[in-house]
């Protein structure tokens, strides 16, 4: 993924219609760049990736970033499509 036109090769932990959690070993750069532009690449070269705007709303000392999308309403249909095609379903835990 890209944030503010900079490539990151860490992990996109999760993504939803309202935001995402990213693992980043260089979190200080992202925190200093609030708000953020996120480019999510499309594995299928025939499809265009998606760009969303967001804000860092939380961080951890281990380098996790919580990003809330700020233009999710405009991108809702594209986000739904992107998530359904590129993400694994959440496994439910038994209690």
Q: What is the mean pLDDT of residues 45-74?
A: 83
Q: What is the mean pLDDT of residues 13-30?
A: 77
Q: Is pTM beyond 0.75 here?
A: no
Tell me the pLDDT band of 90, cut-offs 50, 70 and 90.
low
Q: How confident is the model at residue 65, as a pLDDT? A: 84
Asked whether the predicted pLDDT for residue 28 surpasses 60, the reply is no
Asked whether the predicted pLDDT for residue 7 surpasses 80, the reply is no
Phi/psi for 59 (5° steps) reads -140, 165
Tell me the pLDDT band of 32, cut-offs 50, 70 and 90.
low
Closest CA to 84 of 38, 2, 17, 3: 17
Instruction: Assign 70 to helix, strand or coil.
Output: coil
Helix (H) or strand (E) holding 72: helix 72-86
Q: How confident is the model at residue 39, as a pLDDT? A: 79
The CA distance from 27 to 23, in Å, is 8
């Amino acid at each position: 993924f890209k944030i503010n036109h900079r490539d990151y090769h860490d992990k996109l932990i999760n993504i939803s219609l309202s935001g995402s959690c990213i693992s980043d070993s260089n979190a200080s750069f992202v925190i200093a760049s609030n708000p953020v532009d996120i480019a999510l690449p499309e594995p299928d070269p025939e499809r265009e990736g998606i760009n969303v705007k967001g804000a860092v709303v939380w961080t951890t000392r281990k380098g996790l970033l919580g990003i809330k999308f700020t233009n999710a309403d405009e991108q809702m249909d594209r986000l739904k499509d992107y998530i359904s095609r590129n993400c694994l379903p959440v496994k439910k835990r038994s209690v």
